[in-house]
């Protein structure tokens, strides 16, 4: 596809050159110019031809560059998705083979292998859902159901939903939130955003600690500071965390059924609401996400 576009630009250059040649030939046929005039005309023609050809080649590379980048990203995405799906499929196949080789065993006696299959199917389901979300986002076919979203209520509801799970790992959830934090957005996507952040913290903090949330408004924006005091992320990996399939600790992510797509989806949700998400962290310093959204007009 990319080569076809470049060929089209070159064909355009050839057509332009043909037109120039035709124009000059017509001029010569209509009169009898002197040798000096012919020389100047030929020189001018050569300059024009070189400029047209150079401009066409340059434009072809400029025009194709973003397309080439998008195409490469699509290829990388497909390759990564295939790789991620290959692992659970291999686990399912190997465990099924064990079950099939023991035909005389009861379901209860093979609960271990069946349990492995069930876990991998759940993991695949989450992965496919995440892939579909990002694929639809790339294609701009995901529509937001916009309404007034009370941000402090959504945050409180999500915090309560994860409180028991966090307590099991000796993690406390503290929140300080102003009232009347109203924004225009898709409430399901905003819930998904904070679900991703809470889920990541509880899975990957790596030690007992605290998740702190501070939500407030300032001028025309709503601000959310989401912080935990876990093991953090190395400085040289911070810039990569929003990339698809990127994992800071690959072994730990896989053991926690992480796909490496959560923060990519979180970033897309924020951007689709005309917001901004920034990450500040370091090794043994926890993580600090600062999120801003436009404030709903006519709110105090």
Predicted local confidence at residue 237, as pLDDT = 82
**Residues forming beta bridges with residue 225, ordered by sequence position:** 214, 290
Cα three-residue angle 57-59-61, rounded to 5 degrees: 75
Separation in Å, CA 161 to CA 150, 165, 264, 269: 17, 8, 22, 20
What does the radius of gyration of the chain's CA atoms come to, in whole angstroms? 29
Predicted local confidence at residue 171, as pLDDT = 93
User: Can you say how many angstroms the Cα of residue 29 is from the centroid of all Cα atoms in its chain?
Assistant: 61
In CATH, what number does 147-294 get? 3.30.565.10
- The secondary structure of 55-87 as a DSSP string is HHHHHHHHHHHHHHHHHHHHHHHHHHHHHHHHH
Taking the C-alpha atoms of residue 95 and residue 87, their distance in angstroms, rounded to an integer, is 12
* pTM, 2 dp: 0.66
Residue 85 near residue 124, CB atoms below 8 Å: yes
Predicted local confidence at residue 251, as pLDDT = 45
Taking the C-alpha atoms of residue 240 and residue 249, their distance in angstroms, rounded to an integer, is 12
Predicted local confidence at residue 65, as pLDDT = 72
Predicted local confidence at residue 113, as pLDDT = 83
Predicted local confidence at residue 162, as pLDDT = 92
Going from the first residue of the chain to its last (300 residues), give the mean pLDDT of each consecutive group of 10, the final group possibly shorter.
54 60 56 59 66 67 67 66 73 85 80 83 79 75 85 94 91 94 93 92 88 92 93 82 72 54 89 92 83 77
């Amino acid at each position: 596809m990319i080569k076809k576009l470049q060929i089209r630009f070159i064909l355009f250059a050839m057509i332009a050159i043909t037109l120039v040649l035709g124009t000059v030939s017509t001029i010569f046929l209509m009169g009898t110019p002197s040798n000096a005039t012919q020389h100047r005309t030929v020189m001018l023609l050569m300059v024009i031809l070189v400029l047209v050809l150079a401009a066409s080649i340059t434009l072809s590379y400029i025009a194709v560059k973003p397309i080439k980048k998008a195409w490469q990203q699509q290829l990388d995405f497909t390759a990564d998705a295939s790789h991620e799906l290959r692992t659970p499929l291999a686990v399912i196949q190997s465990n099924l083979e064990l079950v099939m080789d023991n035909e005389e065993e009861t379901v209860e006696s093979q609960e271990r292998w069946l349990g492995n299959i069930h876990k991998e199917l759940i993991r695949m389901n989450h992965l496919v859902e995440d892939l579909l979300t990002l694929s639809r986002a790339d294609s701009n076919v995901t529509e937001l159901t916009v309404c007034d979203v009370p941000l402090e209520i959504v945050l409180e509801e999500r915090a309560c939903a994860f409180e028991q799970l966090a307590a099991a790992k000796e993690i406390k959830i503290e929140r300080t939130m102003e009232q009347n934090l109203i924004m225009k957005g898709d409430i399901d996507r905003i819930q998904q955003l904070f679900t991703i952040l809470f889920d990541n913290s509880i899975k990957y903090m790596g030690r007992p600690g605290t998740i702190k949330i501070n939500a407030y408004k300032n001028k025309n924006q709503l601000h959310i500071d989401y912080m935990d005091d876990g093991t953090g992320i190395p400085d040289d990996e911070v810039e990569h965390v929003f990339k698809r399939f990127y994992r800071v600790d690959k072994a730990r992510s896989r053991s926690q059924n992480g796909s490496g797509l959560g923060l990519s989806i979180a970033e897309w949700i924020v951007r689709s609401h005309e917001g901004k998400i920034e990450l500040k962290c370091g090794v043994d310093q926890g993580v600090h996400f600062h999120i801003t959204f436009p404030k709903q007009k006519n709110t105090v």
